């Protein structure tokens, strides 16, 4: 995937870009930066949820651009007035898969992410970590080639964070390309194969994960890793 001059504007104000980047290969890329850096906007633009004002997103494999080959997990899971099982099965039902078959596959995805709850209960009764596992299981229903995650572990307890991270590593090892935003430096160090560091809507630095944390090249990245406030 190559981004050339990509920008997003809202009401005449620049939110993101112009931005040039190359995201080829597999693995797990972490988007980092302070609040307002443009991480969520970039993820939404790549997934087609945000209209790009200028520039071009070129997919190396056109199949990756297809919505059914992508998954997106929001910071706050999108819930429906359905059972846990039917929430997970929903993407396949949209594709015309019979309800019984979709539910059977949903049980397998729930097991895959370790969602060990009564799947026939209303989704609203799940804990925060369980809701995020449900959202992850739903995003995996179509076996996406690319998975976008926007702060998936925000506000979760340590046990839930550890479980989610283990799931993401298994998904990555299974061949799914992952792009994920996080403010958690420890999490970024644990997971990142590569890092994209954004500030004020611009891509300030892009590097291999270990290189970024060991020897950041820009003043902004150095300050951020020291815990300083970026203006």
**What pLDDT digit, counting tens, does each position of 102-134 carry?**
999 999 999 999 899 999 999 999 998 899 999
Cα–Cα distance for residue pair 93/87, rounded to 1 Å: 10
Given this model, what pLDDT does residue 92 score?
Answer: 95
Reduced DSSP (H G I as helix, E B as strand, rest coil) percent helix, strand, coil of the chain, to 5? 40, 25, 35
For the chain, strand residue ranges (E) read 2-10, 13-22, 28-32, 54-58, 70-73, 146-150, 177-181, 194-199, 202-208
Given this model, what pLDDT does residue 231 score?
Answer: 85
Cα–Cα distance for residue pair 224/153, rounded to 1 Å: 20
Look up residue 229 and give its two tokens: 């406030």
Cα–Cα distance for residue pair 136/173, rounded to 1 Å: 16
Given this model, what pLDDT does residue 132 score?
Answer: 92
Let me know: does 21 contact 206? Beta carbons within 8 Å.
yes
pTM for the structure as a whole: 0.94
Given this model, what pLDDT does residue 191 score?
Answer: 98
Inter-CA distances, 78 with 55, 94, 193, Å: 30, 16, 28
Would you kindly state where each structural domain of the chain is located, as residue ranges?
A: 21-51+145-231, 78-143
Give 221-225 contacts, CB < 8 A, sequence gap 24+: 221/197, 224/32, 224/33, 224/34, 224/197, 224/199, 225/185
Query: Which stretch of DSSP H or E encloses residue 84?
Result: helix 84-94
Look up residue 71 and give its two tokens: 């998954």
Q: What contacts 100, CB < 8 A, 6 or more positions away?
A: none
Cα–Cα distance for residue pair 146/228, rounded to 1 Å: 33
Q: Can you list the residues of the chain whose pLDDT is less than 70?
A: none
Let me know: does 64 contact 1? Beta carbons within 8 Å.
yes
Given this model, what pLDDT does residue 149 score?
Answer: 97
CATH classification code of 21-51+145-231: 3.40.50.300
């Amino acid at each position: 995937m190559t981004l050339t001059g990509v920008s997003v504007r809202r009401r005449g104000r620049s939110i993101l870009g112009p931005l040039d980047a190359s995201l080829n290969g597999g693995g797990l890329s972490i988007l980092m930066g302070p609040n307002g850096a443009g991480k969520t906007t970039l993820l939404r633009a790549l997934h087609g949820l945000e209209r790009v004002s200028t520039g071009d997103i070129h997919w190396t494999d056109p199949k990756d651009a297809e919505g059914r080959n992508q998954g997106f997990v929001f910071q706050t899971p999108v819930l429906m007035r359905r059972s846990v099982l039917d929430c997970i099965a929903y993407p396949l039902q949209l594709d015309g898969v019979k309800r019984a078959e979709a539910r059977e596959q949903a049980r397998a995805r729930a097991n895959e992410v370790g969602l060990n709850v009564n799947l026939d209960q209303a989704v609203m009764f799940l804990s925060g970590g369980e809701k995020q596992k449900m959202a992850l299981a739903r995003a995996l229903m179509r076996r996406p080639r690319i998975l976008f995650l926007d702060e998936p572990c925000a506000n979760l307890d340590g046990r839930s964070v550890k479980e989610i991270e283990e799931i993401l590593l298994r998904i990555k090892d299974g061949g799914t390309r992952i792009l994920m935003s996080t403010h958690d430096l420890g999490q970024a160090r644990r997971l990142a194969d590569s890092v994209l560091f954004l500030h004020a809507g611009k891509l300030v630095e892009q590097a291999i994960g270990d290189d970024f944390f060991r020897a950041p090249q820009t003043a902004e990245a150095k300050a951020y890793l020291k815990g300083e406030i970026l203006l």
